[in-house]
Amino acid sequence: MHESPPSLFPPIQPNRHGMLDVDPLHSIYWEEVGNPDGVPVLFLHGGPGAGLSPQHRRFFDPQHYRVILFDQRGAGKSTPLGEWRNNTTQLLIEDIETLRVKFGIEQWLVFGGSWGSTLALAYGQAHPQRCLGFVLRGIFLCTAAEIDFFINGVQSFYPELYDEFIAPIPEAERGDLLKAYTTRMLCDDPASYWPAARAWSRFEGRRVFLLPQPEDPASDTLDLGVGRLESHYMSHLGFFDEGQLLRDIGRIAHLPAVIVQGRYDVICPPVSAYRLHQAWPGSRLRMIADAGHGALETGIAQALVAATEQFKRLGRFE
């Protein structure tokens, strides 16, 4: 297990939690943490499909913030696990609005990393009037180039992982690894989807941190959620038009934002964070010189907590 950075707030339990039926197929898990009368925060996890961790509650001063966290469709404790049907970015945005209304929240600070940054931008652009600002990490704009880098470009840095990833795929199918893996994972045969999901999750998980880390025990929940939903969303370009999130940045450009990015992130390369910062007047970019992709890497965790603390004091970022 990875050690918690010292900058995080102490572990905390939810004030309340539950399940919410969002359609006849999907039920999502939610939890509320911190001060029930505090400044509302929406936490968006990565993946898609990675789900929540108890560590995610610890980026926020529990005396000041009221934090709403949830497992997105098909992820974590939400059911059915790994379900890709009725699962699109637009439906996730609807789920967020359902939760906002359920909790009686008018506006909230939106906090998300990796795919969570993608969803945060998409939600903000759909509902800018509901957002107080944004804390974003490990930017992923879900463009074709980023998806290609995630799958193929990484061989320049981790050739051994790439060789391991392509090994189960017949040579005739290796020209489109995303299609090959998606075909295997989004089928109903466990003998096909389980090995593919585990290979996909391992391919991503072993390059999250800049420095080697002890491997966590295999998790069926993580492997199936990440494998199925990442491949599903990537095969549809995140259900966006190409370049949509930068194109529509004007809808939220008036809101405060801090962007935290690891310099050596080989999952979501820094160029996306840089382009987002360039397109967003007034945003603040924190490029962490000694970090990769992980939210719990020391420099990234420190910058994220510093951002929520600054917003607590000032209502903006400097």
Q: What domain range includes position 21? A: 16-143+240-314
9 lies in a domain? no
For residues 129 and 157, membership in a common domain is answered with no
For residues 269 and 286, membership in a common domain is answered with yes
11 lies in a domain? no
What are 178's two structure tokens?
Answer: 């995303």
Residue pLDDT, tens place only, 30-83: 999 999 999 999 999 999 999 999 999 999 999 999 999 999 999 999 999 999
For residues 194 and 269, membership in a common domain is answered with no
For residues 103 and 37, membership in a common domain is answered with yes
Mean pLDDT (whole number) for 223-240: 97
Domain boundary residue, one of 201, 217, 238: 238
Q: How high does pLDDT run on average in the chain?
A: 96
Closest CA to 58 of 96, 102, 118, 12: 12
* CATH code for the domain in which residue 262 is found: 3.40.50.1820
- pLDDT band at residue 3 using 50, 70 and 90 as cut-offs: low
- The catalytically annotated residue of 117, 223, 265, 272 is 265
171 lies in a domain? yes
- The catalytically annotated residue of 78, 114, 117, 235 is 114
For residues 123 and 30, membership in a common domain is answered with yes
For residues 129 and 194, membership in a common domain is answered with no
26 is catalytic: no
265 is catalytic: yes
3 lies in a domain? no
- The catalytically annotated residue of 56, 232, 277, 293 is 293
For residues 206 and 294, membership in a common domain is answered with no
293 is catalytic: yes
Number of domains forming the structure of the chain: 2
Cα 113–chain centre separation = 5
Half-sphere exposure of 198 (CA within 13 A, CB side): 10
Helix (H) or strand (E) holding 114: none
